[in-house]
Chains A and B, each alone.
Chain A
């Protein structure tokens, strides 16, 4: 979402990525890194937790004694060094028309939903997860089940195959080997790049595209028109 929103903004303000790659990249890196810092502060250790390891140590600015920073590790921040590069390169390659950029910006409805994710729930607001336990949790589970049912088996299988290192995929053993090929932060960056290299593997792209199409409810005709 951030990648796309910043890209659409960059395209509307400075022009196509093909002609303004550096400006695009600067904006993607800036907003992406700031969003990760904000996101980790709000949710790391709550919605997910990174465990510090020899290859993914606590980020240097996480050693300030603030309890909310203690599970902030280097890897998720480094993601925002490399992902913007990959995304900007994709934008350069696709070279979409800037004429449509403004209307491609996420609409206010989506922005409002995103803002609400990180805002305290108002009294009485339906928040099935926060009021978890018992029947409400069952309702929450059912809501996710309905929304993601189309991809559950295939995404589970993809994660298993990544873990096992199935043919055509960069598996976890190779990722770990990259992590341990050098001391952090260089080794951390190597491991991250091994992870992201899957996005260029044909096998991975085909399977992940299947997940995307199912989530977006694309049909064959939609697929062809987006190529």
Chain B
């Protein structure tokens, strides 16, 4: 949960690196992994908030230490993805599962869109140029080529 929360909290405008992204069919389990989707993430945040608010002060401090470790990890590798977005060795991408257009316009020449972008209010904040999003519902998405 902390990992999910920090991913969504820290990915405010997560850039995706170009990852030799190639079209690929959406495997059947894509909806499995997304069960609950963003509304599920919101529900988790709400539940976690209730748990932490009711915790004893010492345990609340321990929750915070867990978050700080998670934030150091998630924040640093989102930062690295931004740092390496234009490099020869992109580090990390969010394949998009929530968007409007087809994969065809998300060519390898453009940065791959972020999974969080389409569901991410910071998309409007950052105003960064992005490739068109892909959508799971149309059966297309981006992913790295075989290593």
Binding site for B on A (CB under 8 A): 1-4, 7-8, 42-43, 45-54, 56-58, 68, 70-71, 75, 79, 83, 86-87, 90-91, 94-97, 100, 104, 106-107, 109-110, 113-114, 116-121, 125-134, 137, 140-149, 151-153, 155-156, 158-160, 162-163, 170-173, 175-176, 192, 194-199, 204-205, 208-209, 211-212, 215-218, 222, 225-227
Contact of A212 among B19, B64, B80, B92 (CB under 8 A): B64
Closest chain B residue to A3 by CB distance? B66
Known: A51-B17, A118-B32, A127-B34. A1 touches B69 (CB 8 A): no
Q: Please determine whether A172 and B73 come into contact, CB atoms closer than 8 angstroms.
A: no
- Kindly state whether residue B86 has any CB partner on chain A within 8 Å: no
- Evaluate contact between A132 and B62: CB separation under 8 angstroms: no
List residues of chain B with CB within 8 A of the CB of A57.
147
- Do the beta carbons of B72 and A46 come within 8 Å of each other? no
Q: Are B5 and A87 in contact (CB under 8 A)?
A: no
Whether A140 touches B38, Cβ cut-off 8 Å, given contacts A50-B92, A217-B49, is yes
B104 close to chain A: CB less than 8 A: no
Interface residues on B, range: 35 or more
Residue of B32, B57, B125 near A156 (CB, 8 A) is B125
What is the CA–CA distance of A75 and B39 in the complex, to the nearest angstrom? Answer: 29
Query: 26 pairs across A/B with beta carbons < 8 Å?
Result: A1-B48, A45-B95, A46-B33, A51-B19, A51-B92, A53-B90, A54-B89, A71-B143, A106-B51, A110-B1, A118-B35, A132-B99, A132-B136, A133-B138, A141-B118, A144-B119, A147-B46, A152-B12, A163-B83, A172-B76, A175-B76, A176-B83, A194-B76, A196-B72, A198-B76, A212-B71
> Which residue of B29, B92, B125, B126 is within 8 Å of A49 (Cβ)?
B92
Question: Do residues B36 and A116 form an inter-chain contact, with CB atoms below 8 A?
Answer: yes
B72 contacts A204, CB within 8 Å?
Answer: yes
User: How far is B23's CA from A9's CA once the two chains are assembled, in angstroms?
Assistant: 44
A51-B17, A90-B65, A158-B10 known; A199 vs B40 contact (CB < 8 Å): no
Q: Determine how close the nearest CB of chain A comes to the CB of B34; give it in whole angstroms.
A: 5
**How many A-B pairs with Cβ below 8 Å?**
346
- Counting CB contacts under 8 A, is B103 at the interface? no
Which residues of chain A come closer than 8 Å to B34, judged between CB atoms? 46-47, 121, 127, 129-130
Contact A148 B56 (CB under 8 A): no
- How far apart are A19's CB and chain B's nearest CB, in angstroms? 15
Known pairs A121-B31, A137-B118; A144 contacts B8 (CB<8 A): yes
Q: A70-B146, A156-B125, A204-B72 are in contact. Are A227 and B61 (CB under 8 A)?
A: yes
Chain B residues lying within 8 Å of A204, measured Cβ to Cβ, are 68, 71-72
- A43, A52, A95, A171: which contacts B33 (Cβ < 8 A)? A43
**With A156-B126, A160-B82, A172-B79 as contacts: A51 and B72 at CB distance below 8 Å:** no
Q: Name the contact of B76 in the complex, choosing from A141, A160, A170, A215 (C-beta under 8 A).
A: A170
Contact B78 A159 (CB under 8 A): yes
A217 to chain B, nearest CB (A): 6
B119–A163 CB distance below 8 A: no
Contact of A70 among B37, B82, B137, B147 (CB under 8 A): B147
B11, B13, B34, B95 — most chain A CB neighbours (10 Å) = B34
Q: Is the CB of B33 within 8 A of A47?
A: yes
**Cβ of B122 < 8 Å from any Cβ of A?**
yes
Contacting pair B30 A195 (CB below 8 A): no
